[in-house]
Amino acid sequence: MASVPRPMRLPPGMSLDQFSRFVTRAHDICGAENVRIIEKSDPLHDGSYMDPCKGHDMHAVLEKDYFVASAVIFPREVPEVQALMRLCNEFEVPVWPYSIGRNTGYGGAAPRVPGSIAMDLGVHMNKILDVNVDDATALVEPGVTFMGLHQYLEKHKLRDRVWLDVPDLGGGSIIGNAVERGVGYTPYGDHWMMHCGLEVVLPSGELIRTGMGAMPDSDDPSIQRMRPDQQPPNRAWQLFNYGFGPYNDGIFTQSSLGIVVKMGIWLMPNPGGYQAYMITLPSDAALSAALDLTKPLRVGMVLQNVPTFRHILLDAAVYGPKSTYSDSDKPLTEDDLDAIAKKLDLGRWNFYGAVYGPEPVRSVLLSVIKDSYLSIPGTRFYLPEDRNEPRSVLKTRSNTLQGIPSLDELRWVDWLPNGAHLFFSPIAKISGADAMAQYDITAARCREAGLDFIGTFVVGMREMHHIVCIVFNREDPSSRKRAHWLIRTLVDDCAKRGWGEYRTHLALMDQIAGTYNFNDNAQMKLNETIKNALDPKGVLAPGKNGIWPKSYNKADWAISVDGEVKGAKGNESKL
Ligand code: ADP
């Protein structure tokens, strides 16, 4: 057996010898060139958004070498994913699958359990398997990014037929984003709602197709003889989500129950016309009034897309770092915010929306929108051509809101030197009073932590995702600790008021899962029951979203308030 270098972190309870045997077997499955060990001497370079690190979190809020994988494996096709799952069961090794590993603000490529095997699906499994413009559907593998599918539509001149909805940054995986229930900004902004059909490797290694995919497309025996992942899919797989019997797809989101290796996604028919706009709101009071107007307009679909109400500092940070506005290392004051809004000719809050459809449709909708919001004193209305500054956020949003991906929103992370970020993402009612209550609490806690409030309200079908972008200096331990304190405190503050987060970073998963505790944690008991049934050895993503299999003692993996981690204990190797 070839000797294997010692990894920075061994999988929990595993000796170097056992690890070497596991790695040798993994070589047999995927080829030695597709197994990379994160060695003890690895400098853990963060890389960049375009070239992200693969075994740790590039925005680490704890010590960088805590949430770190022992090795990264790059399977080439579905049978290899299945074989790896069987191998992980045999060795009882935790494995953390991801599609691209960007997952920025939520943990990047890092696993919840240090020493897990990272399974990077995106490097080889990156094919666009189908684009059907008549049905407006696509079928993709994990490595297909928003940028990649958009470029495909452009290259094949299909954008005059169909658009793709994209999130703020285009480099993420369509599957990774949808299974984490991420959002974009066109009328198809709820990516999970717009998915249709999954192919999933279960923790046992078995392969399933959900919805209509569970039915073969014909009884032709030659199909039955094909490798399951290569069998032609049922013709309605991407057309009807539910199939027959219990609807299972939801259990594969934010989950540790399966590895998604194919997913259908609905594309948006080109609406035949489009117009983005911005409405600036001069004050917090104007934001509150605007959100009250928003509910009936959004529910009634006058607001057709997912509009956003962005705090001035989110836009200001896209225009330049904090140092371009202030010498202070303290949180900016109300006066500072007013001065920045004035300098940038923006509101204290800025509302970005769009109308879709042929000209008469757009013009009716726009007139209703203008009549509504411009009734609030001090609001101003802009079209993209009205804004000629070089880094106009409206111009970027004008692309994003029609499904053209960009990387411009990366800039706000550089608000501080060595900028990194965490997202705090509670759900809010679409109401001025609720939004202001959440804003007041989060902004006050940001000040207490010595950090600036940077955030946005993203308006869904009936609620808002309030996304607070906690920017910190990753090279400054005090800044990291304050960011960690801030998000932990906010989770508790919000839970007391019945506000829960829709998604979170690895370090907060247990805490947030604990806040969804109706009726003596009945939902967690159900989750654990399903987890233990499907994954009896607890090898697939243990700890993901706070769900620990029975083979783990959750307390051993707890992360304390001051960022100390007990979990290192569980990682001692038995040499
Ligand atoms: P991004 O698309 O932003 O790069 P990732 O690929 O890092 O996102 O995925 C984010 C998270 O979603 C992962 O940490 C993992 O928990 C989950 N995930 C991503 N892809 C898959 C997949 N194909 N199957 C199961 N879970 C996945």
**Cβ of 177 less than 6 Å from ligand 1:** yes
**Cβ of 182 less than 6 Å from ligand 1:** no
In the structure, what pLDDT confidence band is assigned to residue 236 with cuts at 50, 70 and 90? very high
What percentage of the chain has pLDDT greater than the value 70?
Answer: 97
CA 292, chain centre distance (Å): 28
Which structural domains are found in the chain, ordered by start? 16-120 (3.30.43.10), 128-215+227-269 (3.30.465.10), 274-506 (3.40.462.10)
**Cβ of 255 less than 6 Å from ligand 1:** no
Residue spans of beta strands (DSSP E) within 357-444: 380-382, 419-424, 427-429
Instruction: Say what the pLDDT of residue 573 is.
Output: 36
Instruction: Say what the pLDDT of residue 563 is.
Output: 63
The type of residue at 416 is L
Minimal-distance CA residue to ligand 1 atom 14: 98
Residue spans of beta strands (DSSP E) within 167-241: 195-201, 207-209
Report the C-alpha gap between 50 and 38 in whole angstroms.
20
**Cβ of 486 less than 6 Å from ligand 1:** no
Distance from the alpha carbon of residue 255 to the mean position of ligand 1, in angstroms: 10
Tell me the average pLDDT across 204-218. 97
Instruction: Say what the pLDDT of residue 570 is.
Output: 46
**Cβ of 102 less than 6 Å from ligand 1:** yes
Strand partners, 171: none
Instruction: Say what the pLDDT of residue 572 is.
Output: 44
In the structure, what pLDDT confidence band is assigned to residue 569 with cuts at 50, 70 and 90? very low
Q: What is the pLDDT of residues 122-178, one digit of tens each?
A: 999 999 999 999 999 999 999 999 999 999 999 999 999 999 999 999 999 999 999
What pTM does this model have?
Answer: 0.96
Report the C-alpha gap between 5 and 71 in whole angstroms.
10
> Phi and psi of 520, rounded to 5°?
55, 50
Pairing of strands 207-209, 268-269: unpaired
Tell me the average pLDDT across 504-508. 97
Q: What is the pLDDT of residues 313-367, one digit of tens each?
A: 999 999 999 999 999 999 999 999 999 999 999 999 999 999 999 999 999 999 9
In the structure, what pLDDT confidence band is assigned to residue 567 with cuts at 50, 70 and 90? low
| Ligand 1 atom nearest to CA at 104 | 3
Residues with Cβ within 8 Å of 80's Cβ and at least 6 positions away in sequence, in order, are 29, 30
Distance from the alpha carbon of residue 208 to the mean position of ligand 1, in angstroms: 18
Which of 115, 113, 117 is CA-nearest to residue 84? 117
Rg, C-alpha atoms of the chain: 24
Distance from the alpha carbon of residue 6 to the mean position of ligand 1, in angstroms: 27
**Tokens 């597709």 -> residue:** 34
Mean pLDDT estimate for the chain = 95
427 pLDDT more than 90: yes
Instruction: Say what the pLDDT of residue 79 is.
Output: 98
Instruction: Say what the pLDDT of residue 310 is.
Output: 98
Distance from the alpha carbon of residue 471 to the mean position of ligand 1, in angstroms: 22
Mutate to test the pocket of ligand 1, among 56, 81, 103, 254 (most ligand atoms within 8 A of CB): 103
Mutate to test the pocket of ligand 1, among 169, 179, 181 (most ligand atoms within 8 A of CB): 179
Q: What is the pLDDT of residues 508-566, one digit of tens each?
A: 999 999 999 999 999 999 999 999 999 999 999 999 999 999 999 999 999 976 666 66
2 pLDDT more than 70: no
488 pLDDT more than 90: yes
75 pLDDT more than 90: yes
Instruction: Say what the pLDDT of residue 535 is.
Output: 98
In the structure, what pLDDT confidence band is assigned to residue 574 with cuts at 50, 70 and 90? very low
**Cβ of 260 less than 6 Å from ligand 1:** yes
Helix (H, G, I), strand (E, B) or coil at 245: coil
Strand partners, 137: 132, 266
Catalytic residues: 106, 502-503
Angle between helices 284-299 and 359-373 (to 10 degrees): 140
Minimal-distance CA residue to ligand 1 atom 22: 260
